[in-house]
Structures are given as C-alpha cells and as structure tokens.
Amino acid sequence: MPTMHDAQKQAWTLFEPNIPFNPDSAIYKKWLALKAEGNLIGVPLGAELHLGNEDGKPRAAQTFNSGVVLTWYGGADVRLS
C-alpha cells in the first residue's frame, strides 16, 4: 500500500519524472516544511544546480514552478530566493 512518503515523492517528480529524489536533502526537507506551513511553492522544475562550496555563499539552488528558488547554504540552511 502506498505511503505518504510515496505521495510526496510523486509530487516531487510530477513535472520532471527523472529528477533526482533524495528525501534527506536540505532542499527537499525545506519544501516539505513550507508545505506543512501552508506555503505552497509548487514542484521542482529540474534538478538542483550546484553553485560551489565557498563559505557563506550558496552551494546549490533549485527552481520551483511558482518561480521560487530554494537556495542551500550548507547544513540545514535553506532560504527562499
């Protein structure tokens, strides 16, 4: 029987079925948290873009169909851009 995890994965891959799915990624966890708060940003349009590893600067970003970009700065630090 499908679980909520299966439903979240289906939503995550709705637009792009071949998008990497990592339930442990900080961006995925932020997406879930935003949804739980009622802040719906849509689904990802593609894979994360890796931006580098410099301290204090973004390391990865992912665009969602609402136009929101979630940017990962390391650890659990993910911000809306």
* The pLDDT of residue 68 is above 90: yes
Torsion angle, alpha carbons of 16, 18, 22, 27, to 10: -30
12, pLDDT greater than 80: yes
Indicate if the pLDDT at residue 69 is higher than 90.
yes
62 and 44 Cβ atoms separated by less than 8 Å = yes
Strands 77-80 and 60-63: unpaired
CB 53 within 8 A of CB 60: no
Residue-wise pLDDT for 27-66, tens only, equals 999 999 999 999 999 999 999 999 977 776 779 999 999 9
Contact 58, 72 (CB under 8 A): yes
The domain in which residue 69 lies consists of: 4-80
